[in-house]
Amino acid sequence: MKNKSFSWIIFSLFLFICLVSSNPVEIQKMEEVLILRSMNFDKALKNNQKLLVLFHAPWCYQCRTFFPEFQRTAKILKDEGYRIALGAVDVNFETELMLTHKVTEYPTLKFFFNGNYVEDYNGGRSTQDVINWIIKKTDHPCIAISNPEQLERLRFSNELIAIFWGNSNSSHFNIYETISREFSDIPFVFTTSTEIKKRFVPEGKNFITLIRSFEEPIINFNQDLTKDNLRVFIQKNKDPKVSVFNEKYAKLVFGDKKPLLFVLIDGKDKETNNNVWETMIKVSEKLGGKILLSIVYKESEWGTRLTSQFKSANLSLPFVAILKPLSNYTQKYISKEILTQDNIIKFYESFVSDKLHPFYRSEPVPTINNGTILKAVGSTFEKIVMDKTKDVFVLLHAPWCQHSKATYVVLKDLADHVQPISDLIIVKIDATANDIEGLNIKTIPYLLFYPSNDKKNPIKYEGDRTFDPLWEWLRSVLTVSYNPGLLWQNSPIRKRGLTPPPFPNIPNNDERLGMDPRRMPHPNMPAGGPAFGVPQDIQPENKEPSLESQQIPFVGLPMVGNPAEGVSTKDVEVPQEKSTKSGAKWVSGQNEREKLDL
């Protein structure tokens, strides 16, 4: 991990030097990775027929851990003669490219061919995965081999290889080639070499053979060669019955939405490990093909990620769990029984019979929770957010995310401003440590509004995360009542001279205003009245009012003293002229809150 962090620091320094000292159109390289910017991006597309571009952010943990592998892939591609270029875009510097190519999460890999965007790459992160995928997108999907050495090189870097015994003119080859495009993570080869065939298929008239690095190494296709038969044959035999969890399994679970039963173990405990492997192999004889089976070492990268999903369960190793990916989130189930073959099979049977209760992560309930922004956790979400008497605006954040921290600054100002609205609650939830049933968070930060009258259909906020548009949007979706005048009079942001929020104009007529003397227009107000609830002296008028001479009441607020005399504007703190006349949107000052309570 230290090496990965060091590599990332070196890359960041290199990128900075490139930005300040180089010709902006010239394409710099770092270990064969092209450093792409808005000024040279089109040049890179023109110069490279096949270009895979990584959009990354320095603060993103997954980007930092993946980038060294990305560099190694670029070097191997060059050394082995593949004409495939790899480039990197730092979105912190190149926001224009990020927006142009609609990048919303990191890391994102986009593939370009002949200068045109093809599609996002969502395959495995190994070098061979990348090569296999690009070849099938741009070249002949099947590789011709003529000697055993070529085959050995492929076996060294792939768990599974499919071989067609014959040439590309064979009547059966078209079926083989068509199916090969459906499995981008598997190299499909063909050969007419009798030397190779005798080594793997000494007898028989098989058309196709699978060569695997796990379990039974040689599996021959002995059925009628049709697309459906070949597809089912490969799908059934391409994965081991029990395997260590890796990128390939992650794609099957989180991409293809296949359920997974796994055992999390401590890699240092060799005796327990041997017992677990023996048990899982026996389990595979009963459950193989029904559910993915895997073993996860807690010390691995995936072990760390999966362990975090069950952190609040306080389980001792080894333990068994099931992941069930749904359309918009992943359900988790835990077995608390002793790890035996029978108990694992019973756990699976309860799962398919829908007799298990899902597990949801939750942080401990905070002992103090009375600020302007409340903290909700998994176990208190129902009580706080789903309260039908309240409108609730929720920030789902990650402690390490810089965008979350910047959004929190704005949200804190908003929470201070709307504090007088007793039936509106602003809430924060750490999305990395708490699960909410039915809610899948793919991007951070994530803002959701839960109206009091429709808790089952929250509204996502997708606008600018600055005060003015955020407050304007929130006002438009509120279902609870409030007094706008009181809101602005007591607002902490008013005291800092910030742009007042817009309020609806109230016509100057008794039918709308009623006969309540507190809502009657003041004689000194212009026709039509000021914006509702805001003193005339802070309206964005061209004419500067006299603060000394005018006595102006707050419309819609209880008077202080004698209503006939109004309220002296000497007692009212007025924002600066530039704040009310510039028309510019207010952007919160992060320097006012150096320490964020996230």
Backbone angles phi, psi at 322, to 5 degrees: -125, 135
Which residue from 150, 31, 147, 24 is spatially nearest to 93, judged by alpha carbons?
A: 24
Which residue from 133, 151, 231 is spatially nearest to 196, judged by alpha carbons?
A: 151
Kindly report which listed range (19-28, 255-264, 289-298, 493-502) carries the lowest average pLDDT score. Answer: 493-502
Instruction: Output the pLDDT for position 519.
Output: 34
Asked if residue 377 and residue 344 are part of one domain, the reply reads: no
Stated as kind and residue range, the H or E segment containing 330 is strand 330-335
- The pTM of this model reads 0.53
Asked if residue 463 and residue 510 are part of one domain, the reply reads: no
Written as six digits, the tokens of 497 are 């001279």
In a domain, 42, yes or no: yes
Instruction: Output the pLDDT for position 191.
Output: 92
Instruction: Output the pLDDT for position 330.
Output: 83
What's the average model confidence in pLDDT over 45-57? 92
Instruction: Output the pLDDT for position 496.
Output: 60
3-state secondary structure of 468: helix
Asked if residue 148 and residue 119 are part of one domain, the reply reads: no
Sign of CA dihedral 517, 522, 526, 530: negative
In a domain, 463, yes or no: yes
In this prediction, what percent of the chain has a pLDDT beyond 70?
A: 76
Q: Which residue spans within 423-532 are E strands per DSSP?
A: 424-430, 446-450, 459-460
Please tell me the distance from the alpha carbon of residue 401 to that of residue 465, in angstroms, as a whole number: 15
What's the average model confidence in pLDDT over 534-543? 35
Evaluate if residue 32 carries a pLDDT over 50.
yes
Written as six digits, the tokens of 220 are 């021959």
Evaluate if residue 351 carries a pLDDT over 90.
yes
Asked if residue 99 and residue 41 are part of one domain, the reply reads: yes
Q: DSSP state, 257? A: -
In a domain, 317, yes or no: yes
Which residues does residue 109 pair with via DSSP β-bridges, in sequence order? 54
Asked if residue 125 and residue 7 are part of one domain, the reply reads: yes
Neighbours of 476 (CB within 10 A): 8
Q: Which residue has the tokens 């922004």?
A: 373
Structural domain containing residue 519: 501-574
Evaluate if residue 395 carries a pLDDT over 60.
yes
Which residue from 376, 397, 373, 388 is spatially nearest to 450, judged by alpha carbons?
A: 388
Asked if residue 233 and residue 248 are part of one domain, the reply reads: no
Which residues does residue 163 pair with via DSSP β-bridges, in sequence order? 189, 209
In this prediction, what percent of the chain has a pLDDT beyond 90?
A: 29
In a domain, 358, yes or no: no
Burial class (CB in 10 A: 0-12, 13-18, 19+), 469: middle
Please tell me the distance from the alpha carbon of residue 450 to that of residue 111, in angstroms, as a whole number: 38
In a domain, 7, yes or no: yes
CATH number, position 481: 3.40.30.10
Q: Which residue has the tokens 């890699």?
A: 267
Q: Which residue spans within 348-414 are E strands per DSSP?
A: 373-375, 391-397
3-state secondary structure of 273: helix
What's the average model confidence in pLDDT over 260-273? 85
Q: Which has more confidence, 577 or 377?
A: 377
What's the average model confidence in pLDDT over 464-489? 86
Neighbours of 411 (CB within 10 A): 25
Evaluate if residue 344 carries a pLDDT over 90.
yes
What's the average model confidence in pLDDT over 25-29? 80
Of the pLDDT bands very low, low, confident and very high (cuts 50, 70, 90), residue 498 is low
Q: Are 39 and 46 in contact (CB under 8 A)?
A: no
Evaluate if residue 137 carries a pLDDT over 90.
no
Amino acid at 118: V
In a domain, 593, yes or no: no
Asked if residue 258 and residue 232 are part of one domain, the reply reads: no
Please tell me the distance from the alpha carbon of residue 521 to that of residue 541, in angstroms, as a whole number: 18
Query: Considering 237, 259, 274, which residue would you say is the last residue of a domain?
Result: 237
Instruction: Output the pLDDT for position 12.
Output: 56
Q: Which has more confidence, 425 or 327?
A: 425
Instruction: Output the pLDDT for position 543.
Output: 35
Kindly report which listed range (19-23, 69-73, 226-230, 500-504) carries the lowest average pLDDT score. Answer: 500-504
Top mean pLDDT of 252-256, 452-456, 572-576 is at 452-456
Burial class (CB in 10 A: 0-12, 13-18, 19+), 502: middle
Asked if residue 457 and residue 380 are part of one domain, the reply reads: yes
Is the preceding peptide bond at 458 cis, omega within 30 degrees of 0? no
Kindly report which listed range (36-50, 265-279, 531-545) carries the lowest average pLDDT score. Answer: 531-545
What's the average model confidence in pLDDT over 77-100? 88
Asked if residue 144 and residue 104 are part of one domain, the reply reads: no
Of the pLDDT bands very low, low, confident and very high (cuts 50, 70, 90), residue 516 is very low
Of the pLDDT bands very low, low, confident and very high (cuts 50, 70, 90), residue 503 is very low
What's the average model confidence in pLDDT over 478-507? 63
Query: Considering 457, 489, 521, which residue would you say is the last residue of a domain?
Result: 489
Asked if residue 377 and residue 485 are part of one domain, the reply reads: yes
In a domain, 583, yes or no: no
Asked if residue 274 and residue 332 are part of one domain, the reply reads: yes
Burial class (CB in 10 A: 0-12, 13-18, 19+), 2: exposed
Query: Considering 205, 237, 269, which residue would you say is the last residue of a domain?
Result: 237
Evaluate if residue 211 carries a pLDDT over 60.
yes
Asked if residue 528 and residue 478 are part of one domain, the reply reads: no
Instruction: Output the pLDDT for position 424.
Output: 94
What's the average model confidence in pLDDT over 117-127? 82
In a domain, 496, yes or no: no
What's the average model confidence in pLDDT over 497-507? 45
Q: Are 437 and 360 in contact (CB under 8 A)?
A: yes
Could you give the C-alpha distances from 576 to 122, 472, 507, 540, 556, in angstroms and in order?
52, 21, 27, 11, 24
Rg of the chain on CA atoms, in Å? 32
Domain count, the chain: 5
Q: Write out pLDDT tens, residues 546-562.
A: 333 333 332 333 333 33
Of the pLDDT bands very low, low, confident and very high (cuts 50, 70, 90), residue 490 is low
Interstrand relation of 424-430 and 373-375 (parallel, antiparallel or unpaired)? parallel
Q: Which has more confidence, 409 or 184?
A: 409
Kindly report which listed range (136-150, 235-249, 355-369, 570-584) carries the lowest average pLDDT score. Answer: 570-584
Is the preceding peptide bond at 318 cis, omega within 30 degrees of 0? yes
Which residue from 44, 40, 33, 53 is spatially nearest to 120, judged by alpha carbons?
A: 53
Neighbours of 477 (CB within 10 A): 12
Annotate 61-70 with b (16+ C-beta within 10 A) or e (fewer): eebbbbbbeb
Of the pLDDT bands very low, low, confident and very high (cuts 50, 70, 90), residue 487 is confident
Q: Which has more confidence, 346 or 216?
A: 346
3-state secondary structure of 314: coil
Please tell me the distance from the alpha carbon of residue 111 to that of residue 52, in angstroms, as a whole number: 4
Instruction: Output the pLDDT for position 7.
Output: 53
Which residues does residue 393 pair with via DSSP β-bridges, in sequence order? 426, 449
Is the preceding peptide bond at 107 cis, omega within 30 degrees of 0? yes
